């Protein structure tokens, strides 16, 4: 199962065009990210976690949740994800105890390679990086029936991520 997923991800990465000019721009907390029509973005807190703060969530389906959940997992958003859908959840670590060595520089090309069952976030792809001297962790969830088009769109969304120094 994972070998097939890796092939789809590699194919999506190889054929990955830039974001369309018709894509929307979502801005929050000195961050901008582009996403396609029909997808949905929010900066509303989806979990009970206050720190590290959630910066945004983007989904291929409507995010109906109005307030924070009671756990550290965006469980309602994940429960509503269709089998062919995708969900991107971004948090930012702040504070003086952070080490640059724990957060590599923003990659030239994002890849979905670190799939594991993460504490609080559950089974997802995790991407840790720093950009504009800020420290980010993004979790990507992809439905079991999502094909290369959805995966390619997720990667294009990630590539459009921009942070400003604050």
pLDDT tens digits, 17-76: 566 789 999 999 999 999 999 999 999 999 999 999 999 999 999 999 888 988 999 999
Write the secondary structure of 34-55 as one string of H (helix), E (strand) and C (coil): EECCCCEEECCCCCCCCCCCEE
Q: Which two tokens stand for residue 81?
A: 């994800």
Architecture of domain 2-163: 3-Layer(aba) Sandwich (3.40)
1-10, 85-94, 108-117: least confidently modelled range: 1-10
> Domain residue spans in the chain?
2-163
The count of residues in the chain is 166
Residue 76: the pLDDT is: 94
Residue 21: the pLDDT is: 80
């Amino acid at each position: 199962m994972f070998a097939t997923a890796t092939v789809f991800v590699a194919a999506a990465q190889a054929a990955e065009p830039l974001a369309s000019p018709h894509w929307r721009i979502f801005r929050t907390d000195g961050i901008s990210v582009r996403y396609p029509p029909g997808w949905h973005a929010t900066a509303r807190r989806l979990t009970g976690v206050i720190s590290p703060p959630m910066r945004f969530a983007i989904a291929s389906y409507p995010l109906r949740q109005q307030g924070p959940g009671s756990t550290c997992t965006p469980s309602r958003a994940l429960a509503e994800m269709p089998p062919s859908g995708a969900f991107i959840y971004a948090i930012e670590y702040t504070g003086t105890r952070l080490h640059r060595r724990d957060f590599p520089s923003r990659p030239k090309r994002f890849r979905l390679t670190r799939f594991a069952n993460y504490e609080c976030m559950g089974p997802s792809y995790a991407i840790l990086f720093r950009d504009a001297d800020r420290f980010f962790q993004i979790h990507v969830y992809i439905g079991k029936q999502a094909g290369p088009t959805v995966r390619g769109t997720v990667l294009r969304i990630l590539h459009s991520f921009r942070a400003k120094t604050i």
